[in-house]
Amino acid sequence: MSDNLYELLASRFPKDRARPCFILSDGSEISYSVLEENAGRVAARLMAEGVEPGDRVALQAEKSAEVIMVYLGVLMAGAVFVPLNAAYTRTEIDYFIGDAEPKVFVTDPPGFVRDAARHAPLKQAVARAKADLASLIYTSGTTGRSKGAMLSHGNLAENARALHAAWGFSEKDVLLHALPVFHVHGLFVALHCSMLSGGPMIWLPKFTDAEVLGGLKRATVMMGVPTFYTRLLANPNFTKASAPNVRLFISGSAPLLPSTFAEFEERSGQRILERYGMSEAVIITTNPLNGDRIAGSVGFPLPGVELRIGGGEGEPSANGVIEIRGPSVFSAYWHMPEKTKEEFTRDGFFITGDVGRKDPDGRVWISGRAKDLIISGGYNVYPKEVELVLDELPGITESAVIGLPHADFGEGVAAVCTGKGVEADIIAEARKQLAAYKAPKRVIFVADLPRNTMGKVQKNVLRQTYADLFKS
């Protein structure tokens, strides 16, 4: 067996390949044998079309089981999978295609798989070494150009094994999969955990209340972004009885509000397990399966992951930029040697750009992105610290604290909130709990905070929208 990730996954497919891999929304199933055969045909087709090991194969399409057949076929052929967000526009796609230079660009996975049927399935995956490239994942890039994180077969295999163990996956598990598959969360984290168990996935094209509530009747594990959990809580039909077999609810890709964690526990009796990851390293830390899952903390580094706080402000447990080194950390940004050099320390730690702290026992807390740090009148303001105070005030559902250009202070602190309240009262209350320079100078209410598909609040959008707030 080589280090081709496909070989690891296939070695864990169930002995009885007739067992389901995908359970679709209409109740129909796709077996592991169909998956395996089609992946083999896709690989054969790609090779017949001249795709060689290391060549890129890009894909932009809506979620379907065929996307996964193409993904596995690309791995088998030793090529490099480049998934692209289905929402990208033509101009954005031009950039990605120009950058990744794929040999093949798949836009209709069902059609691609169908046409591959005339090729005899490849039986043996092309041998790959651990360091060989398996996938290029373009970062969501809220500033500057999106970068292609180069993930190797070894990076993905090591992370998959670590998560499978950390979260106690077994062949008895049924994973509810409602995540998109152009992002590491749905494509690698969820898919690989399930495939290493040889179990089925309840495969939903996207999150809808009705389908998720239906799927939860049978699922044992659900992975989601925080908005999945807030949507479930907003639905009165979601009760303890809705998820009779679920042993684990996992959340990540964006911070889970402590209030969501608490409300979810009250409603379902389950403590959501929060973990932290990114395109450049897949999963980095996780709360424990057995042990204390603490709201607001992302838990402990996975085995083999070294995590340290760089540029901390001196005191133990001070906030600083999180740096990581370990088996799942990517090697470089595609075609960006300078950028790569800037974002790794001399001793090989990746500078994540997330600000956080670590308790003496190793537990990690995230307080935001370094670029979201506000410097007001020369003082550092960590938005998370302010958000935690605001989120506790009556009437406020969620807040996003940003720095906006301010003539006196350089940046002024502003809060954009959902829920309701009176601006002057909120500012007065915040000033009781926070130093004056940290308290917001303006509070704005909106119906919804802008989010990307992974549920992350787009602070760059807010900063643009309210750029002139302190200018009037």
Q: Which residues form the interface with ligand AMP (CB under 6 A)? A: 139-140, 184, 252-255, 274, 276-279, 298, 352, 354, 366, 369, 454
The nearest distance, CB 60 to ligand AMP, in angstroms, is 17
Distance, in Å, from the CA atom of 42 to the CA atom of 120, rounded to the nearest integer, reads 9
Indicate the residue among 140 and 433 with the shorter CB distance to ligand AMP. Answer: 140
3-class SS at 45?
A: helix
Which of 4, 297 has the CB closer to ligand AMP? Answer: 297
Token readout for 372 is 């979201």
Work out how close the CB of 142 gets to ligand AMP at its nearest, in angstroms, rounded to a whole number: 10
Q: How far is the CB of 291 from ligand AMP (least distance, A)?
A: 17
Q: How far is the CB of 179 from ligand AMP (least distance, A)?
A: 11
Written as six digits, the tokens of 354 are 């997330």
Name the minimum Å distance from CB 17 to ligand AMP.
32
Nearer residue to ligand AMP within complex by CB, 22 or 261? 261
**Contacts (Cβ under 8 Å, ≥6 apart) of 379:** 435, 437, 438
Nearer to ligand AMP (CB atom), residue 372 or residue 429: 372
Nearest CB to ligand AMP, comparing residues 25 and 139:
139
Of 363, 365, 387, 353, residue with least CA distance to 457: 387
Q: CB-wise, 363 or 369, nearer to ligand AMP? A: 369
CA atoms within 13 A on the CB side of 264: 24
Rounded least distance, CB 140 to ligand AMP, Å? 5
Q: How far is the CB of 374 from ligand AMP (least distance, A)?
A: 16
Nearer to ligand AMP, 195 or 272 (CB): 272
Least CB distance to ligand AMP at residue 177 (A): 17
Q: What is the C-alpha to C-alpha distance for residues 102 and 59, in angstroms, rounded to an integer?
A: 10
Closest approach of ligand AMP to the CB of residue 284, in Å? 9
- Nearer to ligand AMP by Cβ, of 132 and 274: the residue is 274
Cβ 214 to ligand AMP, closest distance in Å? 27
Of 66 and 280, the one with the shorter C-beta distance to ligand AMP is 280
Cβ proximity to ligand AMP, 198 vs 320, nearer residue: 320
How far is 417 from 424, CA to CA, in rounded Å?
14
Spatial separation of the C-alpha atoms in residues 270 and 262, rounded to whole Å: 9
Instruction: Tell me the C-alpha distance between 238 and 213, whole Å.
Output: 7
- In the complex, what is the shortest distance from the CB of residue 408 to ligand AMP, in angstroms, rounded to a whole number? 30
Residue 143 contacts residue 325 (beta carbons within 8 Å): no
**Burial profile 439-451: b = 16 or more Cβ within 10 angstroms, e = fewer:** bbbbbebeeebbb
- Measured CA to CA, the distance from residue 431 to residue 455 in angstroms comes to 30
Which distant-in-sequence residues (6+ apart) come within 8 Å of 266 by Cβ?
none
Q: Round to whole Å and give the CA distance between 161 and 138.
A: 23
What is the closest distance, in whole angstroms, from the C-beta atom of residue 254 to ligand AMP in the complex? 5
Residue 275 three-state SS = strand
For residues 178 and 211, give the distance between their C-alpha atoms in angstroms, rounded to a whole number.
9
Which of 1, 87 has the CB closer to ligand AMP?
A: 87
Could you tell me if 3 and 158 are in contact, meaning their C-beta atoms sit under 8 angstroms apart?
no
- Is 83 in contact with 191 (CB distance < 8 Å)? no
Report the residue number, 358 or 441, with the smaller CB distance to ligand AMP: 358
β-strands 306-310, 175-177 pairing: unpaired
